[in-house]
Amino acid sequence: MSRKYFGTDGVRGRVGEHPITPQFVMHLGYAAGKVLAADSQTRGERTGVLIGKDTRISGYMLESALEAGLIAAGIDVYLAGPVPTPAVAYLTRALRLQAGIVISASHNPFEDNGIKFFSAHGTKLPDETERAIETALDEPMQTNSSDGLGKAKRIDDAVGRYIEFCKSTFPSELDLRGMKIVVDSAHGATYHIARHVFHELGADVIAIGVQPDGKNINHGYGATAPDNLRKAVVEHKADIGIALDGDGDRLIMADGSGKLYDGDQLLYVIAKHRQTQGKMHGGVVGTLMTNLAFEHAMQKLCIPFMRAKVGDRYVMELLQQQGWQLGGENSGHIICLDKHSTGDGIVSALQVLHALRANGQNLAEATGELRMYPQVLINVRVAKGVDCLGHDQVKAVVADVEKELAGKGRVLLRPSGTEPLLRVMVEGEDQSLVEQSAQRIAGVVRELAGG
């Protein structure tokens, strides 16, 4: 059974357009409530679900709709307010609730929003549970009688709890005293959290991207727009810069010169430190987008490496299958399963800082042996229903490019799981050839895409 509403990261779309409407989201809350109530073991008590959100203005509307649907299904609702996605995963476990729900479209612009779910264990819902919710959506809402309705309660200490959790993932024998750090919260869900974590560990923190107005999330700030981070690091003569995305699960960092480091490079720092300390358990999971240089570096360090499909849920699935702890994407999603049940930008940054402080290095020194292959990614908008991947012209140009790369690079075309885009990636040793090849393939796709 294919999923009708759930994508790789929950239900997502443009606000006001199906399925991101208050009517549908209320029905989604009701359907999820019925499925969760049937699956949970609550010893006669009502099932409890946590709701958190990022700073989008539409979050107020969707929060109310979800709350109404869940309560109509007999679910008790716990409202955390604006908190990062990984905070919902943590708080769901800490409060012993049956599920957590995040209202966020992550790195997307404010016009979009989405609904994603966490299980009682702080992990993404299993596929079978998502399918059960979709099946329940085909049934009409039948509100419980008054004595069977749920209740709502606001969690007043959600932010403080999560700050303390993040700090607990950093070694107690180390601190960040003497470090000046720029922290960019993308005007998103970490705006009132991230700076406090690093400050309370001893750092001198300059906070940017911390003035959300409901419409500026990810706009010009954060992990997907790091220019302001680079400028602030140089301007303030900081040691390091940390950029998170709108919901706080993605991380990009900068060194004192303003040079940026992506998820592959940061994952390398963490993995290498753990390996040299004898604390690397198993291997590392990357994705189809992971740079070839990272794979070669893992081989040199004698660390097993595997690639998953693009998307943190697929990285997580492969980690669980292998019994490994460490994985991530070059986009900045990094998963450290010994620290958290999901990817967490703040926690991941602390693992990088742990390695730097323990070894007395900066980012440039810690990544000095990792020579990244030039990699060009072009997003091409594609009209709905257009299959460019199967077109003969696209297959032909890809074959030509692969022949030119002569085994010293690779081509990857994949549709986005969250947007109407086809992502064209070319990677290889020769920067000029890589750029020309990516533009060549993207040009052919654009002619056919109709986007």
Burial of 391 (0-12, 13-18, 19+ CB in 10 A): middle
User: Comparing C-alpha atoms, which of 21, 18, 23, 22 is closest to residue 4?
Assistant: 18
**R_g over Cα of the chain:** 22
397, 440 contact by CB (below 8 A): yes
CA dist 358 and 273 (Å) reads 9
| Residues 6+ away with beta carbon under 8 Å from 245 | 106, 107, 186, 188, 218, 222, 223, 224, 332, 345
| Number of neighbouring beta carbons within 10 Å of residue 296 | 14
Does residue 145 have an active-site annotation?
no
CA distance 418 to 224: 15
DSSP structure string for 358-395: HHT--HHHHTTT--PPPEEEEEEEB-TT---TT-HHHH
**Omega before residue 171 within 30° of 0, cis:** no
Q: Which of 106, 331, 348, 437 is catalytic?
A: 106
Q: In whole angstroms, give the CA distance from residue 114 to residue 185.
A: 19
Q: Which residues contact 110 (CB under 8 A, 6 or more apart)?
A: 56, 57, 58, 214, 215, 216, 217, 218, 219
The answer for residues whose C-beta is within 8 angstroms of residue 326's C-beta and 6 or more apart is 267, 270, 271, 274, 280, 282, 283, 284, 285, 319, 335, 336, 337
Q: Count CA within 13 A, CB hemisphere, residue 250.
A: 23
Distance CA 127, CA 8 (A): 10
Cβ-in-10-Å burial (0-12, 13-18, 19+) of 385 comes to exposed
Task: Give residues with Cβ within 8 angstroms of 357, minimum separation 6.
Answer: 174, 175, 176
Q: List, in sequence order, every residue forming a beta bridge with 285; answer none if it has no partner.
A: 306, 327
Residues belonging to the active site: 106
